Amino acid sequence: MYAWPVILRDPVHHLISFTGAEERLVVDLMDTPEVQRLRRIRALGLASLAFPGGEHSRFAHAVGSAYVMRRYLEHVGGLSSQLAAHDRIAPETGLVALAAALLHDLGHGPYSHTFEDVVPQARSHEAWTEALICDPSTSVHRVLVGVDATMPGEVAALVRGRHPIAHLARAVSGTFDVDRCDYLMRDSYMTGVRYGLLDLDWLLASLRLHCATEGAPATLAVDGEKGLTAVEGYFLARLYMYRQVYLHKAVRAADAVMRSLFRRLHRIGAPAGTPTALADAAAGRELSPQRYLELDDHLLEVALATWSNGSDPVAGDLAERLRSRRLFKTMSLRPDVDVALAEAQLSEIVRREGLDPDYYARIDRVEIHACEDDDESLVVLHGGARRERLVDASPVLRGLRRERFVHCRALFPECVRSAVRRGLAEFV
Amino acid sequence: MYAWPVILRDPVHHLISFTGAEERLVVDLMDTPEVQRLRRIRALGLASLAFPGGEHSRFAHAVGSAYVMRRYLEHVGGLSSQLAAHDRIAPETGLVALAAALLHDLGHGPYSHTFEDVVPQARSHEAWTEALICDPSTSVHRVLVGVDATMPGEVAALVRGRHPIAHLARAVSGTFDVDRCDYLMRDSYMTGVRYGLLDLDWLLASLRLHCATEGAPATLAVDGEKGLTAVEGYFLARLYMYRQVYLHKAVRAADAVMRSLFRRLHRIGAPAGTPTALADAAAGRELSPQRYLELDDHLLEVALATWSNGSDPVAGDLAERLRSRRLFKTMSLRPDVDVALAEAQLSEIVRREGLDPDYYARIDRVEIHACEDDDESLVVLHGGARRERLVDASPVLRGLRRERFVHCRALFPECVRSAVRRGLAEFV
Amino acid sequence: MYAWPVILRDPVHHLISFTGAEERLVVDLMDTPEVQRLRRIRALGLASLAFPGGEHSRFAHAVGSAYVMRRYLEHVGGLSSQLAAHDRIAPETGLVALAAALLHDLGHGPYSHTFEDVVPQARSHEAWTEALICDPSTSVHRVLVGVDATMPGEVAALVRGRHPIAHLARAVSGTFDVDRCDYLMRDSYMTGVRYGLLDLDWLLASLRLHCATEGAPATLAVDGEKGLTAVEGYFLARLYMYRQVYLHKAVRAADAVMRSLFRRLHRIGAPAGTPTALADAAAGRELSPQRYLELDDHLLEVALATWSNGSDPVAGDLAERLRSRRLFKTMSLRPDVDVALAEAQLSEIVRREGLDPDYYARIDRVEIHACEDDDESLVVLHGGARRERLVDASPVLRGLRRERFVHCRALFPECVRSAVRRGLAEFV
Amino acid sequence: MYAWPVILRDPVHHLISFTGAEERLVVDLMDTPEVQRLRRIRALGLASLAFPGGEHSRFAHAVGSAYVMRRYLEHVGGLSSQLAAHDRIAPETGLVALAAALLHDLGHGPYSHTFEDVVPQARSHEAWTEALICDPSTSVHRVLVGVDATMPGEVAALVRGRHPIAHLARAVSGTFDVDRCDYLMRDSYMTGVRYGLLDLDWLLASLRLHCATEGAPATLAVDGEKGLTAVEGYFLARLYMYRQVYLHKAVRAADAVMRSLFRRLHRIGAPAGTPTALADAAAGRELSPQRYLELDDHLLEVALATWSNGSDPVAGDLAERLRSRRLFKTMSLRPDVDVALAEAQLSEIVRREGLDPDYYARIDRVEIHACEDDDESLVVLHGGARRERLVDASPVLRGLRRERFVHCRALFPECVRSAVRRGLAEFV
């Protein structure tokens, strides 16, 4: 158990302390089994197969997110003389914000995003987070209710990006939300891919709150003189981490193997020896919160070992591939390829080699953008009253938002590599 | 599968490449299931409970150690004109050295050192490493034999610190061995405890090989002008990482809980549902290599979940403590305390509170030294022929080696804290 | 004097060693008075007024450039089996390359670029570098001739980007030249503006040499799989360092004050007590190499002190402004402003306030681009024979190269600030 | 001019902001010519000859010290509920503290410590700092008086370590004073000698204030659980920076050359063309504050150029040695050597070679200790009321404080090297 006051070493933020009286709640939440469970879930999921350093857990990230939230609250506190009453953050609201930051990932399943992506009909992790916070049987719920009966509801709403104070809602779910600030920095530090190294101090120092019209809710803005490059740096970090890490070919290949495995299990039913929680999940059956909480990386990994020794050759092969890192091979295709056509052709090749294309052939096309919808509302404040949309003020963003970043790849087992290379030559 | 040539991002060494033709062996070994299994074993064992960032695996460390070995080989290659023939490293020997560096931790069990420490009659991880390398059924063995039939034997010997070239033997097991160079840097980077940040470049640049007498085997020495502080820095890093991380009170407390749990399992037998490999290990039965390889963090973690719901209240409580991080509390005692007396008194207190002191009371006394036996042989080369023992040449080491660093702590559950505080007051 | 072999601490590259026999020349050159003079010239010129950390000298940068060149030579050496004979770098050519890297900035005057910019009719620093290398009276010349009589000519040519081996010429003067690699990293490290932190290891590992047609000279190319983001990172670092540091408003303001000062001195003649070398330079008179070498930051700074106490009020005021950091104020104007019109208006305002606009009014418009002409020739090598222009292959560069980055600012003394603010309101 | 509020990039502390209303004074002081003069004085003096990166100025250090003071004030503010009224820091006192931190080095002469060391009868820089703060003609004085008439006196007293609040006095001049915290970090960062990298956050978080007896003034103490290693790290950083940087052989050799030069000038009188301020200083004449402020690195460097071309061969040679980095050679002697005897012998050798030993022969013996007197008073607070002297509580300090670190070296020109090597062989 952590006991308040807590000072933690953190490699990313260096020293994280929850020593203020108002931070007792954070420490109490850190001690719950539901938050401790996040130690058993790797933040980067299967990406650790491509980046040996990227083996950190959701727990470290959750604590880091709470720390970034505290710094956001301090920064906004310093601006409060310029804010209308309805935009200031009262101490009770600060508690809700810290709790939301710490708990925002509570509902993640094994290997983080992987799980909800590959399991048929899986509830999203956001939905699970909300469910766990609101379920009276969880320790998290009890700790929150101990502060105030309305707290679970408020925290759950804020985690989903809903709060009367608009800028706070966006600090949990928006362009610069505390989640992203922490994960970009942490994933970058841990993988050694340096592009995600945000200048958090400078970014925070550049944030302003701004009312488009008198009385309107304040929204996030950026100081035009100091902040433009810090903000551009943030967008670039985000873009690069996606291109370099989150969408790395080995990561996509591992995801595809996992996806095939679960598709197979869905069809054949979970083999004997599969833990109930996993069997239910694989079958697309509803899970109770307690059952869901049993799911973690360890349970899945042990199941992989079981399945790899099981009687179904397809499930066995796919499970063993994940354990021994014999992922699918990838071949880059042109971005403008007709995916359906390429997939048909790849399937045919794989079938001719005696494999079932349902599990062993996939065209993986992902498209990312430097700017997202939510980014469009950001405003840059120049001296005086002049303001401008960020995407207009920044030549870097102006240039990048017109571009699409497309990765289109064929994924297949190594044994068909030369057949694929010949057969898909026209798509390269 | 990795395919040669390999270039990896590594957060500690930045960029690790195995691109030389002679490094194909390293890549082939990285692809074996035995080496891939190291991904499933946390390098710092239970220390991640105290340092949220310290969740990296033995795999990342193994690759890092091979990298440091390559740099050692390059450095020694640059000195070879000054070496007698019997001290030079031929290309085949370089292969053995790289393989030994990569494989030196192959035999680790769940949570690295924890496992061999807590399981009754467990074989050491070094013995398991040797066994796995030499066992014809392992892929590692097959890959090594593919190069040369004598290789498994040579690699296994070198891992244990035995080799005709004395300085190479010590580069695998000695003061500055490649294992330690990597783990001090990596553990420091990952935990954020900065004291372990070696100056590896400078350290390597300062290393010399030195023959005490004409024809004697060369041993490791240090350039007196440039190297003294780099070497002192190494000793200090080692000392600090032990004090700050490896012997951190929460780490010792977690170890004690795990130890109690396995003592309990040994007495009552492993509960139903325990995987065979773990049940055999817990019972002190011999395991085959294939069975041993089934053991990893995941298997142990899932077993903890099973045991925490099992029928034995002691095993259940101890397992749940590890899952939910309700470790034993610690109280620092004076270094010169009579351990037997303190333990008797602590046991009595714990018994009065209704708990079995076999599992819930422990006096943990560890003593470390700034210098180890192996360090004593290091020599500093001053200009010309003058040389001196390192421990004489360095005032820092001279001062530190007379000191003992003792941690003496009582470990007990939180529910008896106030009783212990009163009852052991005389030992504080 | 440095004595070979040399190992230096360098904060940017960590440890710079010139220990190979072939690097004796570098050490001998480092010991010449002409190279030692670079210690007396700040690399960032007046930018240290805006970035207190940016006070490093051209000497540290020159040594760093030689180090980057050595790494380039090592990298190209590793590729040489794929190169035609005429593209391989022979040992003698390697010496020329190292010397050119170390000496490329030999001709800089006080405050680096500032001097050649502000002094009327000043020779460029490149022309001075060539002159100093080729002048038989310099120690640098003597050291080079000591190796080979043709060396000064070859080194001077290479510094100007002329060499029979095309890729080597561009490594001294081209997109990724060693000069830039070092200064982007060094200026970033020293100022604390983190955007310039190149991933030098990864960048080098990604460089390829490529022949457009059989027998054509090899030119620089980039590995498409690994290298695209490293190269984009380089372009972004370059862009950001310009925007954030080199064209920072306080840097431009300081430059403008210095420019005004030299314009004034040109008109009134250098005051009594001005050292001959400076007086000649200020008057636009030709200087001998020995006289030119007398010029350094110290001479200029002491002259500023003299001038600030001199009888001409304009020169005195401008000199004192530089000493006490009372630079011109800046006001950002719209990028598309009619510069002549704005300048006329600013001059009128300044004149009305009783100041001479020749010295106290300036519209400063600078325009930079993410890509330069030289960048256009870079090629990305995809697997097999496919290749593509970098600016086509990279969506980031595709997006950025259409954009112009314009800074347009009015510069004026603080005493006219409110008048300017009113008078130029239409241009904002 | 800086204009409040100020946010600066700093490579060491990352982002330094003086944005609070109470920090206007810091900004006003930064704008004075006396503080701006510190830009013209290198913090490490001649050490930049040994460490090319170490070229930063006293200005960057002064600003960094003010920043560390602000963090100290914040930390003490957080402890104030535990402090007696007489130990709390009122806002006005905070201003005095910030000013003292910024101004503590105001009186440094050219090349920082070098100048006061080598110039005969020079006033210490501390005495000059006090004089400049208290002299009504300085801008610094005027700015301070503008806040309160008593301020110059209070600031000057605090700079000398005198203040009614004992712990504040020691924060300016004591074991962990803000000056040292900044310079150890900065010098380490800039030279690339990593040993000085303090863990400032952790150190500050570990500091406590402690009253030995009820009502006694609080003194600095350290939290026993968290702080011991942070404090040891500080002592080690200090020790290493002295051994590696401040007492580096090339630094001592450069100092000796400068010292010989000024001894010569004192005997022969300053050559024609020497600026008055330097001539007066060299002759040991009293200087007015305004004259003293004329002295800076630039003035001295230009004088070196003048002297190196002057008529006195000894002064000319010594000056040219400094310009071209032809420093004295060093030979390490045994620590226990009879210095007088060695010096006599060295002088005789040098004289036989036709050089004047007054200028060309020197035995340089320096002795440092891991702990200083002031450190002895530090107390470690264990849980509850138990406390212990730091030097007893820490085995590291216990071991180190018994050791002396002695550097004993002969310094002489390179032309007598072989004669010295033979002649002093017995002392090695």
Chain D residues in contact with C8 (beta carbon < 8 A): 52
> How far apart are the C-alpha atoms of B5 and A419, rounded to whole Å?
23
Contact at 8 Å (CB) between A362 and A409?
A: no
Assign D384 a pLDDT band (cuts: 50, 70, 90).
low
The dihedral region occupied by D20, where left means phi > 0, alpha psi between -120 and 50, and beta the remainder, is: beta
Chain C residues in contact with D325 by the CB 8 A cut-off are 1-2, 31, 36, 39
| Domain match, B243 and B257 both | no
pLDDT in tens, D197-218: 788 998 999 999 988 888 889 9
ipTM: 0.94
D154 & D203 share domain: yes
CA distance C271 to chain D (A): 17
CB-side neighbour CA atoms (13 Å) of C83? 21
On whether the CB atoms of residues A294 and A279 are closer than 8 A, the answer is no
A220 and A277 belong to one structural domain: no
Closest Cα in chain C to A405: C395
Evaluate whether residue B272 is within a structural domain: yes
Q: Rounded distance, CA D125 to CA D406, Å? A: 26
One domain for residues A66 and A203: yes
Distance from CA of D319 to the nearest CA of C (A): 13
Residue ranges of chain B whose CB lies within 8 Å of a chain A CB: 1-2, 8-12, 14, 31, 33, 36, 39-40, 48-49, 51-53, 55-57, 59-60, 63, 189-193, 275, 294, 296-299, 301-302, 305, 323-327, 414
Interface residues on C facing A, Cβ-Cβ cutoff 8 A = 194-195, 197, 199, 229, 233, 236, 239-240, 243-244, 332, 370, 382-383, 386, 395-396, 398-405, 428
Residue-wise pLDDT for A99-117, tens only, equals: 999 999 999 999 988 888 8
Instruction: Report how far residue B243's alpha carbon sits from residue D56's, in angstroms, rounded to the nearest whole number.
Output: 36
Mutating which of D13, D14, D74, D79 best tests the A interface, going by the most A Cβ atoms within 10 A? D14
- Annotate chain C with three-state secondary structure: CCCCCEEEEECCCEEEEECCHHHHHHHHHHCCHHHHHHHHCECCHHHHHCCCCCCCEHHHHHHHHHHHHHHHHHHHHHHHHHCCHHHCCCHHHHHHHHHHHHHCCCCCCCCCHHHHHHCCCCCCHHHHHHHHHHCCCCHHHHHHHHHCCCHHHHHHHHHCCCCCCHHHHHHHCCCCCHHHHHHHHHHHHHHCCHHHCCCHHHHHHHEEEECCCCCCCCEEEEECCCCHHHHHHHHHHHHHHHHHHHCCHHHHHHHHHHHHHHHHHHHHCCCCCCCHHHHHHHCCCCCCHHHHHHCCHHHHHHHHHHHHCCCCHHHHHHHHHHHHCCCCEEEECCCCCCHHHHHHHHHHHHHHCCCCHHHHCEEEEEEEECCCHHHHHCEEECCCCCEEEHHHHCHHHHHHCCCEEEEEEEEECHHHHHHHHHHCHHHC
Do A259 and A230 lie in a common domain? no
Extended strands (E) in D111-226: 207-210, 219-223
Chain A nearest-CA distance from C338, in A, is 20
Contact status, residue B377 vs residue B358, Cβ threshold 8 Å? no
Is residue B177 one of the residues assigned to a domain?
A: yes
Query: Average per-residue pLDDT in chain A?
Result: 93
What region does A384 belong to: left with phi over 0, alpha with psi -120 to 50, or beta?
A: left
Residue A219 domain-assigned (yes or no): yes
Residues D204 and D284 in one domain: no
Position D376 in a domain = no
Q: Which domain holds residue A263?
A: 250-327
CB contact under 8 A, A205 and D15: yes
**Number of other residues whose CB lies within 10 A of the CB of residue A128:** 22
Q: Write out pLDDT tens, residues D125-161.
A: 999 999 999 999 999 999 999 999 999 999 999 999 9
Q: Mind listing the pLDDT tens digit for each residue in D51-100?
A: 999 999 999 999 999 999 999 999 999 888 889 999 999 999 999 999 99
Query: For chain C (length 428 residues), average pLDDT per consecutive 10?
Result: 88 92 94 96 93 95 97 92 91 96 96 84 92 97 97 97 94 91 95 84 90 87 86 91 93 96 94 94 93 96 96 96 95 94 97 97 94 83 82 90 92 96 94
Residues A179 and A47 grouped into a single domain: yes
User: In the sheet that A379-381 helps form, which strands lie side by side, from edge to edge?
Assistant: A207-210, A219-223, A379-381, A387-389
Helix (H) or strand (E) holding A380: strand A379-381
The domain spanning residue A318 has which CATH number?
A: 1.20.1250.30
Q: How confident is the model at residue D376 (pLDDT cuts 50, 70, 90)?
A: confident
Q: Is residue C394 part of a domain?
A: no
Under 8 Å between Cβ of B68 and B178: yes
Distances (CA, A) of A296 to A33, A57, D122: 13, 11, 72
pLDDT value, residue A318? 98
**Tokens at B80, concatenated:** 């070879």
DSSP B61: H
Q: Do D52 and C8 touch (CB under 8 A)?
A: yes
pTM for the predicted model, two decimal places: 0.94
Residues D314 and D169 in one domain: no
CB within 8 Å: B302 and A302: yes
Kindly state the average pLDDT of the residues B265-283: 93
Cα separations (Å) of D250 from A214, B408, D99, D110, D240?
Answer: 66, 46, 35, 18, 16
Please state, in angstroms and rounded to a whole number, the distance separating the CA atoms of residues B350 and B365.
19
Chosen domain end from B193, B228, B247: B247
Of D55, D297, D326, the CB nearest to C57: D55
Question: pLDDT at position D215, please?
Answer: 85
Please check the confidence at residue B51 and state whether its pLDDT lies above 70: yes
Q: Which residues of chain A, if any, have pLDDT below 50?
A: none
Flag whether D417 is in a domain.
no
Answer with the one of B201, B216, B247 that is the final residue of a domain.
B247
| C85 and C211 within one domain | yes
Determine, for residues A202 and D15 on separate chains, whether the beta-carbon distance falls below 8 Å. yes
- Which of C304, C325, C346 finishes a domain? C325
Q: What is the mean pLDDT of residues D270-275?
A: 92
D57 backbone dihedrals φ, ψ, rounded to 5°: -100, 165
Say yes or no: B199 and B264 in one domain.
Answer: no
CATH number at residue D25: 1.10.3210.10
- Domains of chain D: total: 2
CA nearest to A118, candidates A327, A5, A281, A9: A281
Residues A206 and A71 in one domain: yes
Contact list in C for residue A239 (CB cut-off 8 A) is: 396
On whether residue B427 sits in a domain, the answer given is: no
pLDDT tens by residue, B353-385: 999 999 999 999 999 998 887 787 889 998 767
Q: If DSSP codes are grouped into helix, strand and coil, which group holds residue B42?
A: strand
Q: Which residue of B has its CA nearest to A192?
A: B11
| Residues on chain D touching B244 (C-beta within 8 angstroms) | 229
Are D41 and D184 part of one and the same domain? yes
Q: Is residue C378 part of a domain?
A: no
